[in-house]
Structure 1
Amino acid sequence: MGHVDLATISHRYLVGVAVGLFAVIVRFNPGAAAQASPATGAEPGRRQESSDPVLTNRPPPKPNSQLSPEGKIKLDVVVNDGAGKSVQGLQPWDFKILDNGQPRKVMSFRAFSDAEVKPDPPVEVMLVIDMVNLPFQQVAFTRQEIAEFLQQDGGHLKQPVRLLLLTDAGMRVQPRASIDGDALLSVVNQIKGGVRTLDSAMGGEGLLERFQRCSHQMTAIAENEARVPGRKLLIWVGPGWPMLNRPDLGYYSEKDQQRYFDGIVELSTKLREARMVVSSVAPSTNADATYSIRYMDYLKPVRWPRESDSGDLSLKVLATQTGGRILGPNNDVANQIKKCIADANDFYRISFDPPVAQHADEYHDLKVVVDKPGLTVRTNSGYYNEPAGK
């Protein structure tokens, strides 16, 4: 395969409104049985005797056949056993969808597996190398770990991979995904560490700028990928962007909170529509250990503007909400990436119709249950329902 270059991210990735913090996110008949034709000269009005009937076998149902019609809310669901291995062979009746605690009917169902029915188009891996938040001394190490991942199995990647490089200058994106690990490696080898213009020395202003830039890029990626068919696994390599406290952000007016809430609704919806699963992998850092678990304070649903906060858009919160993985920090980044894509082709695609929304941006807690012991289900944890016509 020829050389793969990183191209400057397209205009549609970069379009967005930037008005302070709150503008980082602007908004799938059997043929009728042949009847015997009447014999020539048959008496009028007399039923023609048919020939001896032939018993034909009814064709077996096609595997993974989709029920119809398809529901409005569509989910990709991964089911793992206690050892973390994907569980295959489940049927529609094995799944229970709970929407705000109330059961909803499974409207469509498809099963995909690496061994039998692979998804088409293939599940794409989007590997984001975050040089905005990675400490300078870790850039070279992270690059080596990504190189190790790309060289596994002789450079023959199981899934198509696309590289995205986030720097102070913006996001650069590989135009097309590739399964040629050697070609991708040549791109990774060109990545050099540099002096960051956004660092801790800038204080709260620098933190705010990093938060804005990363959140904006995540939103731009989701908006763009919502137009592209297929499931995507976005793996963010780095510690993630800052989770700011309100003192860092200044005063929240009612208008500010509404605008911020609108951004949360928009990003949540676009990630689901893009069929994008966000995962976080990270090398070891010298950061306070409490930082790595602080995201848990923001896992509660954001139902109203007054509940919105910057931490609701942190990397690990998005990973949890989309059914992704949170791995690290440790120095085996290559293995972290491998774990994130181990069951890329093993999932179920189901859909359901939501109840009638009573108001705009109505949050619904979502839970998919498989009625078998010892299984773990990963999918979207909620969605924002909208009135008809919106």
Structure 2
Amino acid sequence: MDERSRRWRLVLGGAAEESLGELSGNEAAMDAALAALYDSGSADGDGSRRQRSAGLGASAPQVARWLGDIREYFPSTVVQIMQSDAIERLNLTSLLLEPEMLDAVEPDVHLVGTLLSLNRVMPDQTKDVARQVVRKVVDDLERRIANKTKAAVTGALNRATRINRPRHADIDWDRTIRANLKHYQPEYRTVVPERLIGYGRRTTAVQRDVILCVDQSGSMAASVVYSGVFAAVLASMRSLRTSLVVFDTAVVDLTDQLHDPVEVLFGTQLGGGTDINRAIAYCQELVTRPRDSIFVLISDLYEGGVRAEMLRRVAALVEAGVQVVVLLALSDEGAPAYDHDNAAALASLGVPAFACTPDVFPELMAAAIERRDLRAFAAQMSARS
């Protein structure tokens, strides 16, 4: 069997065996692992479904063996997709409450979201293993985002405190040259600057207040994970005063736990309703310096509270000078489902609502710190996607 036929045989499953041939060795094991997940049934002649003998069922030992098989035969990115599909398609959520199962899985953001949703019903003997799984994912995320986030935020803070009579070491040469291009001297082939633009002197004072307000309804699981890690990174920067607020129909302030993002994530409670208005009301009380404050609402905007009041509160924040950012999702999951009416209403207030990937979030924070036009930023993000 050539490579092309082998791949098609694995894609199409056992139904293609007669036309494409039989697999053997590792390929047969790969096919069996795929069939156990995706071939949950086949069609009879009358169109009804009949059960196959293969499958994962609800047997913990069988699932554990299957998890071991897919880790052996597939790359980690494929393993994570298959795990996520298994949890969704075969309702294996309850099996994740068993420590031996958690030892067998490949940790990723989606698995962390599932574990957080099970936090309240998880047995004590499972919680220690679950924390280890969450810790591994959080550490990987921090390594991925921390340096880029700190560099972007620090650069934005420096640019935001530009001065026009800088010391030589503080001159922003790129901006100085652009501002003085009209003074170019062709005969000397140089620019004679009439106005110097520089960075402000470094300071240990808090320059911006950042409030992350995160919807913890079930559909926002990946966004909750990324938000918790980003909040911990931002909280580690002395130039920022960072607050993290999560909400469903209740509001919980997790700011005092930002020293440990794992504790932050286990302080969330995925699922339940949504009261965005109540959450914004709480966050309004945290704003003491409007012109130096950035309010980031991360929500799909499906409001279960008082919609009109929610919009009035956002308008009040904007009018006071707060830089308001609304993210429909903070994840790699693609285009999110969201309330289009509420997004349009926010846009009419000058607050665009758009999705953002974790890799782009540092750029977004830099744009917010510099008070750039976030509508243009949102349009740029849409063009990228």
Higher strand share: 1
Report the TM range for the smaller structure's normalisation: 0.3 to 0.5
